[in-house]
Structure 1
Amino acid sequence: MSSLSAKADTAAQPSRKVNPFWFRIRQSPLTLFGLFLLVMLLLLSVCAPLISPHDPTKINIPERFSPPSAAHWFGTDEVGRDIFTRILYGARLSLGVGVAVVLSAGLVGTVIGAISGYFGGRVDQIIMRMMDIVLAFPSLVLAMAVAAVLGPNLQNAMLAIAIIKIPVYVRLARAETLALREKLYVKAAVTFGIKPWRIITRHIIPNAVSPVIIQVTLDIGDAILLVATLGFLGLGAQPPTPEWGAMISIGWKYLLDYWWYPTFPGLALFLASCGFNLIGDGIRDILDPKANR
């Protein structure tokens, strides 16, 4: 009976060995706050047609520069468009572009870095020298140059940002690959005659993806800011597309007289960037075994 009661007590006690991802997330108030910000922005952007009755691109001159009110929560712009509605639709563009660009750069950079680190030699030298050339330029200056050469539109801005982000993931994946290729299971795979491409895709990349995920979560906020910066400079999304950077670019000229015009798009940009950075810090603390809690 004593042994049965002891087993029952043991079963009743919560297991301390299990540490789920969500449990770790809940231990960080800042990470939860960042998650809350992003969930709210995503919900508002997805439900934009249900929340606001206004058209984000429809011109309404009689209501130009209307202050915040019950009819227009964030006021209107220089041609009478509802700023709140444009921010909601702009969230779709800014968040979607930021995530898409970083995921694409992370995927391409991880594959290239794994190839560079695994094969080494001349292949490694050529790839890394190309990455060094890209990294030699300030990221914003290079993005502006690429976007200006290709032409001012959203697709070219996305390509420009991806180009400056790829070298970061190449170097990160290469460093992980250099350590992984010395592991016994990789050497055993080579001994059994498994082709290099299969080793890279089945053994190297899956085990090198953890630091890449951390970097991706930290880079999304920066990518959103870069998209807005190129839009602010006229090299990103073109009018009348509702994009936060382009709205700030026009609105700052009216800051003194119509403060709401650039203020609310800037606040939305700040909240989105802040949310991704907070989540990135939380995921880094969870996935990085060297992180101190």
Structure 2
Amino acid sequence: MGIEQVGTLGIILGVISQFWPVWLALAIVLVLSVMFKRRLGLYGQLFDSGVGIAGVMICLFWLFTAIFADTVAPFAPLQQFPLLKDAMPGSIEPGSGKIFLFGGDKLARDVFSRMVHGSRIVLVIAPAATLFALMVGTTLGLPAGYYGGRIDTVLSFLANLVLAFPVILLFYLLVTPGIMDTAIPYWMAGIFFIFPIIFFCTLFYTRFRRRPQLLAVQLALTILIGGWIYAGLVFNADPLGIISIRPNELNIFVAVVFASSPGVFRIVRGLVMDIKTRDYVAAAQTRGENPWYIMLWEILPNARGPLIVDVCLRIGYTTILLGTLGYFGLGLAPESPDWGTGIKESSRLLRLYIHPALPPVLALMSFVLGLNLLADALREQSLKD
């Protein structure tokens, strides 16, 4: 007995209907953003251009898809249906009557559900790793650009040393099983993940050092929350059980931070070297302000425009790198529904069955496109400011 199928129109309507919570969330955000865009600062200004609206909507589409993945996806990402191995798009699962909207893969799993659940992996690892790289690069780039001299020479040499390695080769060395099974990733994670705690402690100290009671509260919260996240990420010892990261995901996380931090460092260093010659910095120095206060509260806010643009682009680069690693079978588990692994699994039978490869490819392309459009819109706004 053959498997029943729906037509092209049925597939299109099925996809649209499955994304109903995403469309609803997008509509609410769009209406509220347009209504209050004059009060939303830089975010509101993005809705003055078509490029900005497109970038925001595409990025929010995948964000809401990741949030509502359990509702959007009709099946679990690892659920198998033997009768639907390599099933064509629109095939109906006999037991539940649900549709394999994008067909089945070689292990009889729903391609649409795996694409949807794969967005969770990408939208957790790529932005989080990029933000940690931003913390590391910023914390080291500020003193290098402000002080110069030996500090700048040593830090710049280390950054250039990392940048001299080909990125793919560097990732391959960091996430191969021989390295993954050692303590090296955990030592690197222990070093990198301490930077956000140092950054925020310094930030609050320079701002509130003359108000000891408020400073004590700020430092206590920073150490408490930072220590909780640090214990969960580095030692997988979150007492609440909220933060949990598998060893292979930790290795990829560390590799992204290690490879991206030097680029952020160079950008921050260059911006600081330019901004520190401005009059308002000289005025702060004349007032006798602490150098770290000047770096964090006078220079860094005025460098936020280029840094925000770089973060958007860097998340896109990280997404592509995650897809590349997944394609080569490095880092994430073989059964992972991430987009790179999906492309790898479907590429082996590409001449016979092309449909399993298209959804993860288009998902990755669209998300990176949205980030690039968002970065272009942010760049235009920063030039106007």
Scaled by the length of structure 2, what TM-score is found? 0.66
Deviation at 1:98, TM superposition (A): 1.3
Question: Where does residue 122 of structure 1 map in the other structure?
Answer: 150
Residues 305 and 378 in structure 2, CA contact (< 8 A), matched pair in contact too: no
Residues 254 and 261 in structure 1, CA contact (< 8 A), matched pair in contact too: no
| Superposed counterparts of 1:195-214, under 5 Å | 195-214=290-309
Residues 248 and 106 of structure 1: CA distance in aligned 2, closer, same or farther (over 3 Å): same
Question: Where does residue 58 of structure 2 map in the other structure?
Answer: 37
Give the Cα separation in 2 of the matches to 1:19 and 1:157.
35
Residues 144 and 160 in structure 1, CA contact (< 8 A), matched pair in contact too: no
- From 30, 35, 57, the counterpart of 2:78: 57
Give the Cα separation in 2 of the matches to 1:191 and 1:34.
43
Residues 87 and 265 in structure 1, CA contact (< 8 A), matched pair in contact too: yes
Question: Where does residue 266 of structure 1 map in the other structure?
Answer: 361
Gaps of at least 5 residues in structure 1 are: 1-17
Residues 217 and 280 in structure 1, CA contact (< 8 A), matched pair in contact too: yes
| Superposed counterparts of 1:1-293, under 5 Å | 21=42, 24-69=45-90, 71-148=99-176, 150-151=179-180, 153-289=248-384
Deviation at 1:253, TM superposition (A): 0.7
| 1:132 partner letter | N
Deviation at 1:233, TM superposition (A): 1.0
Residues 72 and 116 in structure 2, CA contact (< 8 A), matched pair in contact too: no
Deviation at 1:131, TM superposition (A): 0.8
Give the Cα separation in 1 of the matches to 2:352 and 2:253.
33
Count of matched residue positions in the alignment of Structure 1 and Structure 2: 274
1:64-86 Cα offsets, whole Å, 9 max, x none, are 11111151001111221111111
Residues 68 and 74 in structure 1, CA contact (< 8 A), matched pair in contact too: yes
Residues 23 and 60 of structure 1: CA distance in aligned 2, closer, same or farther (over 3 Å): closer
1:130-166 Cα offsets, whole Å, 9 max, x none, are 1111111222222222222532822212221222211
Give the Cα separation in 2 of the matches to 1:222 and 1:55.
28
Give the Cα separation in 2 of the matches to 1:185 and 1:273.
37
Question: Where does residue 4 of structure 1 map in the other structure?
Answer: none
Deviation at 1:57, TM superposition (A): 1.1
Residues 65 and 80 in structure 1, CA contact (< 8 A), matched pair in contact too: yes
Residues 110 and 212 in structure 1, CA contact (< 8 A), matched pair in contact too: no
SS of residue matched to 2:348? helix
Residues 65 and 79 in structure 1, CA contact (< 8 A), matched pair in contact too: yes
Residues 27 and 200 of structure 1: CA distance in aligned 2, closer, same or farther (over 3 Å): closer
Give the Cα separation in 2 of the matches to 1:106 and 1:222.
14
Give the Cα separation in 1 of the matches to 2:152 and 2:43.
39
Give the Cα separation in 2 of the matches to 1:264 and 1:186.
51
The RMSD of aligned alpha carbons is: 2.3
SS of residue matched to 1:271? helix
Residues 129 and 192 of structure 1: CA distance in aligned 2, closer, same or farther (over 3 Å): same
Say which is worse superposed, 55-64 or 96-105, in terms of deviation: 55-64
Deviation at 1:47, TM superposition (A): 1.7
Residues 34 and 279 in structure 1, CA contact (< 8 A), matched pair in contact too: yes
Give the Cα separation in 1 of the matches to 2:48 and 2:283.
40
